[in-house]
Amino acid sequence: MQRVAIARALVNNPDIILADEPTGALDTKTSVQIMEILKKISKDKLIIMVTHNPELAEKYSSRIIKVLDGKVIDDTNSYNSEDELKQESNNKTKKTSMNFFTALNLSLNNLMTKKGRTFLTAFAGSIGIIGIALILAISTGVQNYINKVEEDTLSSYPITIEEQTIDMTSMMETMTGQNNNDTSNYEEGKIYSSDIMDEMITTLSNKVSNNNLKELKKYLEKENSEIANYYNAINYSYNLNINLYKPDTTNEIVKVNPSTVMNSMGMGDMIEASNNVSMSSVMMSNTDVWIEMIDNEELLHSQYDLIAGKWPKNYNEVVLVVDENNQISDYTLYSLGLKDQNELKKKFKAMQEGKELEAPEQTSYTYDELLNLSFKLILNSDYYIKENGLWFDKSENKDYMKKKIDEAEDIKVIGIIKKNSDTIAVSMTEGIGYTKELEKYVINKSNESDVVKEQKENLHKNILSGLDFPTEDENKNFDYNNLSSEQKMAMANLSSEEIAQMMEAYAENTNATYEKILEKLGGIDLDNPIAISIYPKDFESKDDISKEIEKYNQKQRDEQKEENVINYTDIVGIMMKSVNQIVNIISYVLIAFVAISLIVSSIMIGIITYISVLERTKEIGILRSIGASKKDISRVFRAETFIIGLISGLLGIGITVLLTIPINNLIYNLTGVAIKTTVPRNSGSNISCNQYVSYNNCRFNTFKNGKQKRSSRSIENRVK
């Protein structure tokens, strides 16, 4: 018992040990053993021993104080008053406690003695973690896939705000008969007409509105604009043709943009008519293969794989876009001049004559051949030359155009890209992709030309016809008498061919406005686009953008600037509303699965913990018997809980990561959809924390159980 008492005294590492009759009721041999133990301890600690055995005191003590009837009668090493140490008045005795690292070490040693049980307990706990982590991994993969679908879809169908717009919502409701007429005065036995066509015409006439995109552009580009948080990119469209030609003009001049393929088959007028409808953003059939890329490198790199060359960095660099099978349509090949349009014209004529067409021969190109492609850039202003004081359009003059093309700047293909397998929808299917810098370069260069500068200096005069611009209600016809004397003298010196060309120019430009002539010459104002395309990050961001535009409209109304209010129709939003609801329902179901799994896992962990505590009542009693407090015991089990929870968490997350590999393959094989299930980065810490809390709460509650308290006391009493 004396050895146990000494062990209990040493557990908390005290500075002073009080020994009351340590050798009482012991035989001589055992007494000497106890005194030898105390002598070794006295090298590091102060031992005060009370004894009635003067022989042991004389042999082992360094100082002996004899007390009789409560008074000190002798002291072998007394202190003088001047040698007494001064004590601090604020010194307080410290309570004994076990620090967390000691508890952690004690728990680790205990677990190492039961490796098998520890592993099984950790594995049992990890089962719930694996279930939760798998659901989180699948949920994360599905959510990432949904986000990618939304981002890719909205990159193909942005929010487009045009200079002139129609309330398509009202028109669609009218066409589908959703505008319910008043039927209260209808009589039975009669059939009444539903005036859909009249209502549609009325809607078209009343709902056409003009948008001040110049002011909206200023708002969108304003610093610290809230709307910038919701979109991936913004593209500004201008009424501008980027004129590109095939460099080789030996046989003929081939214009590659705007595309002339449909013109070669005699269908140019039909395409031009479809391009001029007011609902161009919805119904336009764009036949050009040159497409401006989204101004977001990260989004482009996520949607396309670079299979050769590099991405463009400068305005004169472009990329060739092919489909996922490394194919490119013959229409694009004809447009780019890689195939002869004359052959297409002959085939089309043979088809009209009912002749049998030969099967086309498939062609192929190496990456190097395509990366060697280059095109010549011709500005709108380059078509015009001033002769005899008048500006003439020389675009039909072959000699002039050949010379201009030879001198023109090169636009080079420096890369080949294709849609990657994980992308659902893209903004460009195939063709040539160019950056917004090319468009800016063309506009700035055109504005620096002499013909544009001269027109800007003459606000009221059409420099192409030499006549004043007609007023709003005026419609002029060409009249020789309206020409100035200078123009008449110039005409007198022209040949009949030049006069005919001049008369044609007069006829074309007589009733043109100042703005139309500037657009024709390429004099575009970068601050005044004809359309703005906003690419939201997802459907939620699209709604936020709509709210921001409404805030902008409300601000304009408050400032009495009704002309700046923006009207547009979100056709894609109308179509995708139901799809978005389905996506949200799926997300809620996955969240519910996660919550249920978490509850089941917590219950299982609690049961395992409760059983573990019941089996360790002896250990609890021993710790209490050697002086450990309730907090010390709780700290030991918290440390053990932390270790087991950490092992369970690491084991569960590790197994889940391994399981995601076959799960990804299984999902792809069953659905054909590449959903990459992945464990969220913060899920491991959250799950381990939940594991730790579950263990800890269970143990803490068990310690408070009355039966456990009684068991601890009985063991403690037996040890004593």
Q: Residue 84 above 60 pLDDT?
A: no
Q: Residue 603 above 70 pLDDT?
A: yes
User: What pLDDT does 486 receive?
Assistant: 64
Tokens (6 digits) for 43: 């090298």
Q: Residue 377 above 90 pLDDT?
A: yes
Hey, what amino acid is at 571? I
For 267-281, 370-384, 453-467, which range has the lowest pLDDT when averaged over its residues?
Answer: 267-281
For 156-165, 314-323, 674-683, which range has the lowest pLDDT when averaged over its residues?
Answer: 674-683
Taking residues 241-248, report their average pLDDT.
Answer: 92
Query: Which of the two residues, 197 and 303, has the higher pLDDT score?
Result: 303
Burial label, 592 (beta-carbon count in 10 A; 0-12, 13-18, 19+): exposed
For 149-163, 181-195, 326-340, which range has the lowest pLDDT when averaged over its residues?
Answer: 181-195
User: Do the beta carbons of residue 531 and residue 234 sit within 8 Å?
Assistant: no
How many whole angstroms separate alpha carbon 595 and alpha carbon 235?
43
Torsion of CA 99, 105, 108, 110, to 10 degrees: -90
How many whole angstroms separate alpha carbon 520 and alpha carbon 515?
9
Tokens (6 digits) for 665: 């393959």
Q: How many CB atoms lie within 10 A of CB 106?
A: 18
For 240, the 3-state DSSP assignment is coil
How many whole angstroms separate alpha carbon 41 and alpha carbon 45?
6
How many whole angstroms separate alpha carbon 239 and alpha carbon 446?
13
Tokens (6 digits) for 239: 């009424």
Burial label, 694 (beta-carbon count in 10 A; 0-12, 13-18, 19+): buried
How many whole angstroms separate alpha carbon 258 and alpha carbon 285?
13
Q: What single string gives the DSSP state of each residue in 294-333?
A: PS-HHHHHHHEEEEEE----STTEEEEEE-TTS---HHHH
In the chain, what are the helix, strand and coil shares in percent, each to the nearest 5? 55, 15, 35
Q: How many CB atoms lie within 10 A of CB 45?
A: 14
Mean pLDDT rounded to a whole number for the chain: 75
**HEC secondary structure over 116-151:** HHHHHHHHHHHHHHHHHHHHHHHHHHHHHHHHHHHH
Q: Which helix (H) or strand (E) holds 33?
A: helix 28-41
| pLDDT band per the 50, 70, 90 thresholds, residue 694 | very low
| pLDDT band per the 50, 70, 90 thresholds, residue 170 | low
pTM tops 0.85, yes or no: no
Q: Which helix (H) or strand (E) holds 413?
A: strand 409-419
Query: Which of the two residues, 89 and 139, has the higher pLDDT score?
Result: 139
Residue 444 C-alpha from the chain's centroid: 34
Q: Residue 418 above 80 pLDDT?
A: yes
User: Do the beta carbons of residue 332 and residue 256 sit within 8 Å?
Assistant: no
Q: Residue 113 above 60 pLDDT?
A: yes
Taking residues 168-176, report their average pLDDT.
Answer: 54
321-326: Cβ within 8 A, 24+ apart: 321/291, 321/417, 321/418, 321/428, 321/429, 321/430, 321/431, 321/432, 321/433, 322/416, 322/417, 322/418, 322/430, 323/418, 323/419, 323/429, 323/430, 324/418, 324/419, 324/420, 324/421, 326/418
Tokens (6 digits) for 475: 């419609």
User: Do the beta carbons of residue 12 and residue 627 sit within 8 Å?
Assistant: yes
How many whole angstroms separate alpha carbon 372 and alpha carbon 374?
6
For 10-19, 339-348, 496-505, which range has the lowest pLDDT when averaged over its residues?
Answer: 496-505
Query: Which of the two residues, 631 and 241, has the higher pLDDT score?
Result: 241
Tokens (6 digits) for 226: 């809230």
The residues facing 377 across adjacent strands are: 244, 409
Tokens (6 digits) for 615: 């089996």
Query: Which of the two residues, 427 and 573, has the higher pLDDT score?
Result: 427
Which residue, chain included where needed, has tokens 């004529």?
A: 349
Q: Residue 114 above 60 pLDDT?
A: yes
Q: How many CB atoms lie within 10 A of CB 461?
A: 16
| pLDDT band per the 50, 70, 90 thresholds, residue 714 | very low
Taking residues 284-311, report their average pLDDT.
Answer: 85
Q: How many CB atoms lie within 10 A of CB 302?
A: 15
User: What pLDDT does 718 receive?
Assistant: 33
User: What pLDDT does 491 receive?
Assistant: 64
How many whole angstroms separate alpha carbon 51 and alpha carbon 255?
118
How many whole angstroms separate alpha carbon 120 and alpha carbon 325?
51
How many whole angstroms separate alpha carbon 552 and alpha carbon 568?
13
**Angle at CA 153, nearest 5°, toward 150 and 157?**
125
Backbone angles phi, psi at 41, to 5 degrees: -65, -35
Pairing of strands 16-20, 46-50: parallel
What are the Cα distances from residue 458, in Å, to 298, 386, 497, 523? 45, 16, 28, 13
The residues facing 84 across adjacent strands are: none
150's CB contacts (< 8 A; 6+ apart) are 537, 538, 539
User: What pLDDT does 378 receive?
Assistant: 94
User: What pLDDT does 196 receive?
Assistant: 63
Pairing of strands 531-536, 384-387: unpaired
